[in-house]
Amino acid sequence: MMTTEQAPRDLIGFLDFYLVKRAPFQLPGEILELFVKFGPWIVLVLLVLTVPGLLFMLGVGVTVMPFGGPAYASGFSLLTIVLLAQLVLLAMALPGLFTRKMSAWTLVFYSQLAGIAVSLLAGALFGAIVGGLIGLYLLFQIRALYVN
């Protein structure tokens, strides 16, 4: 009697099954520890660097919106809302990332999903697939280092 292990049906369980348990290779523990140790600092720097660009994008986008027509306005608005959601989720996760809280990891996970959505909305299918897989792989590899 042969039993095969099946992937869980919830999204996090499914991704954990394929990106950790069934992954072709695991990252070494030292590398994972470096990601967890320096990750919050990298997130902080990226958030600080993103703010001026985001403000510029909002200013130019709002200025051009009346001339772009309804399709531009609705597309720009949706893309901007999802991008803002991604950044807010990362900012909310930051304190918990320093203390290795699972709730912070979960916020980063949702931020990563929002980032994939931003890429898809911008028409960057290849970037969404490749960047999404790499980001999710790294995120799920370090998941075990976060506690409740």
pLDDT in tens, 118-129: 999 888 999 999
- d(C-alpha 136, C-alpha 131), whole Å: 8
- What's the pLDDT tens digit per position in 78-115? 888 888 899 999 999 999 999 999 999 999 999 999 99
CA distance 47 to 43: 6
- Give pTM, 2 decimals: 0.83
Question: For position 26, what pLDDT does the model report?
Answer: 92
Q: List the structure tokens of 54.
A: 């985001």
- Spatial distance between the Cα atoms of 45 and 47, rounded to a whole number of angstroms: 5
- What pLDDT is recorded for position 99? 96
